[in-house]
Structure 1
Amino acid sequence: MNTRAPSPPSLKDLRKLTPARIGLGIAGASLPTSALLEFTLDHARARDAVHAVFDASAVMASLGALGLEASCVSSRAADREQYLRRPDLGRMLDPDSRQLLLRAAGAAHQLAVVIGDGLSPTAVHAHAVPLLQGLMACLAADRIAIGHAVVAREARVALGDEIGAVLGARMVAVLIGERPGLSAADSLGVYLTFAPGVGVTDEKRNCVSNIHRAGLGYDEAAFKIAWLIREGLARELTGVALKDDSGSRMPRSIAARSGPT
């Protein structure tokens, strides 16, 4: 009986396992037309995601439907062009927004949530509210309530530090559009900072990223974020000192899912 050794994996097989651009082939000295057109389309989608108009009013309405008290603020970047050229301005509240939050601030609370456009308003429109809905359910099991929600225009991650400090929150969670890539123009990231304040540096944060249809699913992301929030509040820290050990406690039904529903 003849037994033939299995054929070694080909580049075509490898392409099924990753969205990375590998094994594209050649046509003369160039890429095949199909590969070039796919690259051009994905590049255009990434550019469109960066420059998409952020519909803050729609996000505010969705937060209201979830029963959250919310405020709408802006960074000191006057427009999208300035936001892209001056990252520092996206990390600071404009004076009117700061006054608005000071008036909204009440008793200190455990958690504030910021939804910022970041570098992909497209990602925020697609994923922020569904993710937040799942996160609220996870937090409710731990009796952790969102004290205040903020929608932020022209926002960088560090804008959440000033927002959290003004609101008197023990921790801030920033849901923000990540820099678009050629395989995902709508990736959402969530950054968690305990004891937020102006000048906090990035090693003090935890990040759950790559949340999109072909990446991390809503259920799994919400579970991880809720775990980090609970442990961060209990240990009074976030960042490099807080290791994500949520995987060992993840329900099998969540771990089996591969993407947002």
Structure 2
Amino acid sequence: MMAKEISKSNYLQIDPWENLRSLSKARIALGNSGGSLPTREVLSFQEDHAFTKDAIYSDLKEKELLKHLQDFKLPVYQFQTKVSDRKEYLKRPDLGKKLAETSESENGDFDILFILTDGLAADAINERAIPLLKEILPKLNDYKIGLCLVKFGRVAIGDEIAEKLNAKFTAVFIGERPGLSSPKSMGIYTTYEPRSETTDERRNCISNIHENGMSIEKAADLLQYFIKESFRRKISGVKLKASLPNQIDRK
């Protein structure tokens, strides 16, 4: 008796929610092969997991970023936190919130400080911070602005820098914790009147700025809104809700 040919449909079962995959990068409708995942999905997971691990250990391209920051013809400052290397950064989040003792105090008297720091995905800053600054800076001609670059920083590092440079408002650009579908995601945390005792409920967050998430243009719109409203109402954080005009609908 001739062996009966087995069709692909008999051993690889397609998930009925397959069409939903076009709407999300989440791991849904993976299908199955018997009681297991299809090999392609196992390999895809392993690849994305490797990208995520690489993102955590990516390095801030300081020289390149400094050159781009200087091109804006604005005051540029470079700071170092108390963290000595990436391994310590991951183990001691508290040290990433404090400046090294060698950081000198200066009185810049700024309205806004844009602070770039690596966070948990330095490549997000390497690739997206400068394009976003190019989008937002031309819209802020009425403010005195300074630019900062910080190695091994956490969100709260902006508070101490604001005190040193006498700034009224900070926008901290930081690499977010990488996900399996977004290893290079950037976030922006804004704070009005930041000080060393500032707590997180006084911050606004713009999150998921990456190629499959929020666009540079939409992030700039939100950032401009938070800047305008924070200065108008003299607040930031949970008391300030994002309520953009209907005409702003960028993806």
Residue 137 (structure 1) aligned with residue 138 (structure 2): yes
Which structure's CA Rg is the greater one? 2
8 Å Cα contact 2:18-2:30 kept in structure 1: no
Residue from 24, 27, 33 that aligns with 1:21:
27
Name stretches of at least 5 consecutive residues in structure 1 with no aligned partner: 1-8
Residue from 43, 47, 63 that aligns with 2:49:
43
Distance in 1 between residues matched to 2:178 and 2:138, nearest whole Å: 29
8 Å Cα contact 2:115-2:170 kept in structure 1: yes
Give a deviation string over 1:132-151, Cα, whole Å, max 9, x none: 110112223xx2341x1110
| Aligned pairs (5 A) from 1:56-95 | 56-95=62-101
| Aligned pairs (5 A) from 1:166-205 | 166-205=164-203
Distance in 2 between residues matched to 1:19 and 1:77, nearest whole Å: 34
1:37 is paired with a residue whose SS is helix
Query: Which amino acid in 2 is paired with 1:236?
Result: K
Give a deviation string over 1:56-103, Cα, whole Å, max 9, x none: 111111001122221111111111000000000000000112x1xx13
Residue from 75, 80, 102 that aligns with 1:96:
102
Give a deviation string over 1:148-177, Cα, whole Å, max 9, x none: 111000010000111111110001110010
RMSD (Å), alpha carbons: 1.4
Which residue is 2:216 aligned to?
218
Distance in 1 between residues matched to 2:133 and 2:247, nearest whole Å: 18
Distance in 2 between residues matched to 1:64 and 1:133, nearest whole Å: 12
Distance in 2 between residues matched to 1:79 and 1:225, nearest whole Å: 31
Distance in 1 between residues matched to 2:183 and 2:243, nearest whole Å: 28
Q: Displacement of 1:221 after TM fit?
A: 0.8
Give a deviation string over 1:98-134, Cα, whole Å, max 9, x none: x1xx13x23x221111000000001001100001110
Q: Displacement of 1:31 after TM fit?
A: 1.3
Which residue is 1:126 aligned to?
127
Q: Is the helix fraction higher in 1 or 2? A: 1
> Closer, same or farther in 2 for the Cα pair 1:229/1:249, shift >3 Å?
farther
Query: Which amino acid in 1 is paired with 2:143?
Result: I
TM-score (norm 2): 0.91
Residue 207 (structure 1) aligned with residue 213 (structure 2): no
Which residue is 1:4 aligned to?
none
8 Å Cα contact 2:16-2:29 kept in structure 1: no
Name stretches of at least 5 consecutive residues in structure 2 with no aligned partner: 1-14
8 Å Cα contact 1:165-1:196 kept in structure 2: yes
Which one is further off, 181-190 or 10-19? 10-19
Identity of aligned residues (%): 38
Q: Displacement of 1:250 after TM fit?
A: 4.0
1:110 is paired with a residue whose SS is strand
Which residue is 1:30 aligned to?
36
Distance in 2 between residues matched to 1:230 and 1:249, nearest whole Å: 17
Distance in 1 between residues matched to 2:88 and 2:135, nearest whole Å: 34
2:102 is paired with a residue whose SS is helix
